[in-house]
């Protein structure tokens, strides 16, 4: 099982400055590279301080310039808000500038607040995504592509430069519902998922759906991977663990607001709303704990067949403590899952 660090800014104080926020993210990426993590993951969200990242491909290129081994995942780039004729060229260049380390995660967007402020009703996002994906794939695979659809109509054109590899970089789909996961894998896509607040049995349904789709994809599905996103933080004591769980619970209150709630945002700052999920469920579901607890929880995911775990370590913690958590995790936990992973390299911070 492989491990990734999600570079998702939680930006509770505007006075801290965007330059410092993304400097912190870059420090996490360079440390993860030195420690032997498989990848880093870049979100995309607009008009808000929660998971703040308006330009994932730009940041991917920046990270590549400062790292040597890391894969760089966008998780996810929101297709319905873009013109695929422009985006296809940006993807090609990002793939070139990252020297082939880019994995393009795409999705339809699930925050009503940002989608509707971009003039896209949530009810249209599925149809817009499906057509956008088809257009993007055509532009990356073929020359002189024309289109006559519901959202795109254009005469023949060729995206330049052409991709390094036919079809562009590997693609990963974000999906939560088991049926959607099945169809993504069946079509030959890597999948990123999360059970959100769901149970272990729901996660098993997601894994089973992926495996069915992967098997039915035949040769195309042979190398497909299933990636799981979880809030995570490596702790040194029970006291620290309790503090981190409380911070994660507050962060998830902000996340719930824009993910499935009212979308109350004050001058770009997402308001924390009361959560339906009790804090003990956060403790159970999140990957927040000390060494043995982390190993035990991750072993269960490994046995289920999860290929990659994305750890969202950015939920309001001190930047230096976050770097310490990343290093502690790499040195004490990753070596237990070395199959397909290089294991941690000792780093003096």
Do 226 and 208 meet the contact criterion of CB atoms below 8 Å apart? no
- CA 143 – CA 152 distance, rounded (Å): 17
- CA 47 – CA 50 distance, rounded (Å): 9
Q: Where are the domains of the chain?
A: 2-337
Q: How many residues does the chain have?
A: 349
Across-strand partners of 52?
9
pTM above 0.75, yes or no: yes
How buried is residue 102: exposed, middle or buried, by Cβ count under 10 Å (0-12/13-18/19+)? Answer: buried
The closest of 125, 281, 121 to 195, measured between CA atoms, is 281
CATH 3.20.20.30 fits 2-337, yes or no: yes
3-class SS shares of the chain: helix, strand, coil, % to 5: 50, 20, 35
Beta strands 39-42 and 2-7 are parallel
- CA 204 – CA 304 distance, rounded (Å): 7
pLDDT, tens digit only, all 349 positions of the chain: 999 999 988 888 899 999 999 999 999 999 999 999 999 999 999 999 999 999 999 999 999 999 999 999 999 999 999 999 999 999 999 999 999 999 999 999 999 999 999 999 999 999 999 999 999 999 999 999 999 999 999 999 999 999 999 999 999 999 999 999 999 999 999 999 998 766 889 999 999 999 999 999 999 999 999 999 999 999 999 999 999 999 999 999 999 999 888 899 999 999 988 888 899 999 999 999 999 999 999 999 999 999 999 999 999 999 999 999 999 999 999 999 986 444 444 443 3
Q: Which residues contact 34 (CB under 8 A, 6 or more apart)?
A: 345, 347
């Amino acid at each position: 099982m492989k491990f990734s660090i999600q570079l998702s800014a939680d930006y509770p104080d505007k006075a801290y400055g965007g330059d410092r926020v993304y400097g912190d993210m870059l420090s996490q990426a360079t440390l993860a590279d030195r420690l032997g993590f498989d990848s880093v993951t870049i979100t995309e969200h607009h008009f808000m301080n929660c998971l703040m990242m308006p330009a994932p491909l730009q940041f991917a290129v920046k990270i590549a310039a400062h790292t040597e081994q890391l894969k760089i995942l966008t998780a996810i780039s929101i297709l319905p808000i873009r013109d695929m004729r422009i985006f296809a060229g940006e993807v090609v260049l990002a793939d070139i500038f990252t020297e082939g380390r880019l994995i393009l995660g795409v999705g339809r967007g699930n925050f009503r607040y940002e989608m509707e402020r971009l003039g896209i009703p949530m009810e249209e996002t599925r149809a817009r995504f499906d057509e956008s994906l088809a257009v993007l794939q055509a532009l990356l695979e073929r020359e002189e592509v024309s289109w006559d659809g519901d959202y795109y109509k254009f005469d023949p054109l060729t995206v330049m430069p052409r991709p390094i590899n036919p079809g562009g970089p590997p693609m990963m789909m974000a999906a939560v519902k088991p049926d959607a996961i099945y169809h993504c894998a069946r079509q030959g896509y890597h999948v990123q998922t999360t059970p959100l607040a769901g149970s272990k049995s729901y996660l098993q349904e997601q894994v089973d759906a992926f495996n069915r789709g992967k098997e039915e994809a035949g040769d195309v599905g042979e190398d497909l991977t299933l990636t799981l996103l979880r809030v995570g933080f490596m702790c040194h004591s029970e006291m620290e663990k309790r503090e981190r769980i409380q911070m994660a619970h507050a962060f998830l209150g902000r996340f719930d607001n824009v993910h499935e709630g009212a979308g109350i945002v004050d001058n770009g700052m997402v308001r924390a709303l009361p959560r339906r999920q009790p804090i003990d469920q956060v403790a159970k579901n999140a990957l927040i704990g000390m060494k043995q607890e982390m190993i035990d929880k991750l072993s269960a995911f490994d046995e289920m067949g999860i290929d990659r775990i994305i750890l969202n370590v950015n939920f309001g913690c001190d930047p230096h403590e976050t770097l310490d958590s990343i290093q502690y995790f790499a040195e004490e936990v990753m070596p237990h899952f070395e199959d397909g992973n290089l294991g941690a390299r000792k780093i003096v911070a």
